[in-house]
């Protein structure tokens, strides 16, 4: 078993001075913590892997392909591989668990 605490992951992410911290990598998936502060711009582009976002805290909008929805704590969003997507209109600091399958390369 591997167990993680979000507060410890957030502290590690901050110490590494990055918006993204991958904290688990296995044969069929990887998991990370993604952080975007209020008003930030999400620089990501399409990925070669399927993704699932689980919003742990914050509020924003996300556009996946041509569809846009508002997200907040408890929201879960699936993004197919190769599809353009980004968070925007981030009104509260956003903390998101990201699951990639297969693992992000």
| Each residue's pLDDT tens digit, 24-61 | 999 999 999 999 999 999 999 999 999 999 999 999 99
How much is the pTM?
Answer: 0.94
In a domain, 1, yes or no: no
In a domain, 89, yes or no: yes
- pLDDT of 105: 77
In a domain, 25, yes or no: yes
How many Cβ atoms sit within 10 Å of the Cβ of residue 12?
14
In a domain, 59, yes or no: yes
Burial class (CB in 10 A: 0-12, 13-18, 19+), 20: middle
In a domain, 67, yes or no: yes
In a domain, 12, yes or no: yes
CB 98 within 8 A of CB 47: no
Name the residue range of residue 87's domain. Answer: 6-101
Tens of pLDDT, residue by residue over 71-85, are 999 999 999 999 999
Which CATH number do you get for residue 44? 2.60.120.10
Q: How many domains are contained in the chain?
A: 1
């Amino acid at each position: 078993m591997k167990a993680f605490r979000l507060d410890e992951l957030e502290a590690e992410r901050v110490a590494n001075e990055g918006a993204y911290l991958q904290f688990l990598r296995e044969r069929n998936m990887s998991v990370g913590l993604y952080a975007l502060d209020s008003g930030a711009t999400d620089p990501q582009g399409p990925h070669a892997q399927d993704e699932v976002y689980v919003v742990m805290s914050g509020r924003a909008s996300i556009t996946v392909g041509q569809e846009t929805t508002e997200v907040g704590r408890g929201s879960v969003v699936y993004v197919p591989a190769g599809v353009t997507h980004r968070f925007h209109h981030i009104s509260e600091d956003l903390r998101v668990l990201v699951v990639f399958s297969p693992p992000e390369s």
